[in-house]
Amino acid sequence: MRGQKSAMTIRPVDVGGVTVPNNIFCAPLAGYTDFAFRKLCYFYGAGLCFTEMVSAKGLKYNSEATRALLKKDASEKITAVQIFGSDPAVMRAACESEDLADFPIVDINMGCPVPKVFKNGEGSALLGNIPLAEKIVSECKKSGKAVTVKFRTGISQDKKITAEFAKMCEGAGADLIIVHGRTRDRYYAGEPDYEEIAAAKRAVGIPVIANGGIFSKADADKMIAETGADGVMLARAALYGPHVFAEIAGKNVPKDIGRDVLGQIADMLPYYGEKFTLVQMRKMTSFYIKGMRGAAEYRGRLFAADSLSRLYELVEEIFRSHGKDSGTVPESGAAQD
């Protein structure tokens, strides 16, 4: 696959009969990819966004905190919900539940590396139990939903199973796979393993989306050239600037971070209330200003803001001083993904 493509071609993707507008995806990010942030990513050109990671068990036991993660904006035409768990029956029940009725695509998390998830036999732990992983995919597909699987190249560097796992997913009924080009033990460090992603692409006939180390159009082009993947998924790069979707997609959408921040606040406030909105948007704004002159000082002042009115004042000050098109996406590899 290497060298066959010099640049990424932007095109629609068929996901189990669901047509996604383009092949630039926004990853599920716990604590970040809520409906307001997804709305912004779609505005800038993302083809498909994913909810935060949702516990299938949490839905089973009627957790209100879990259900809150499923809030959608009216403008979202197609959004994927990502679920995690290790019980095939519970996972299928989640797919078939009314809670997920508005989500035509269900993504199964088989890549989360965090200890709490891993120790429960969920997320990337399923890379070490292929028969169970296969049963989960098969049961979820019986729900009638389009099913995707996001997974890593293996649990450890000495045992990469990307192609084998990809074949299993396809055989069990998955409509698309997303390969994070790192093993569980690497978390988010280092360059993604292009050859392992390429191996997955060679192994299956369903679409393969590549994830890891993509922070710019140049990174996206390199990923496609090196792997032959059908598209890319961005994670941390989106947090540092959702405008990156427009850059990769070639969309002429002017960047205006101040407008974006105020729009997110306006979307979140009626649903989440002032306290949560304040905390969340202090955090989000601190991401957006990374690379800006004086960012460290502004970040300290943002986190000290004790009211939305104070946050509004700071946003006005920051973006009046630096102009609309301010803030930068970090250099390739400068953040986790």
Residue 218: φ, ψ to 5°: -60, -40
Pair 107, 85: CB distance under 8 Å? no
112 catalytically annotated: yes
Q: Which of 223, 239, 243 is nearest to 231 (CA)?
A: 223
Among residues 49, 112, 140, 169, which one is catalytic? Answer: 112
Other CB atoms closer than 10 Å to residue 216's CB: what's the count?
17
The CA distance from 9 to 189, in Å, is 27
Contacts of 284 (CB under 8 A, 6+ apart): 32, 37, 239, 261, 264
Residue 189: φ, ψ to 5°: -90, 145
Q: Which of 110, 139, 136, 131 is nearest to 122 (CA)?
A: 110
Residue type, 292: M
The CA distance from 126 to 228, in Å, is 26
Beta strands (DSSP E) in 45-142 are: 48-50, 54-55, 79-84, 105-110
Give the catalytic positions in this structure.
112
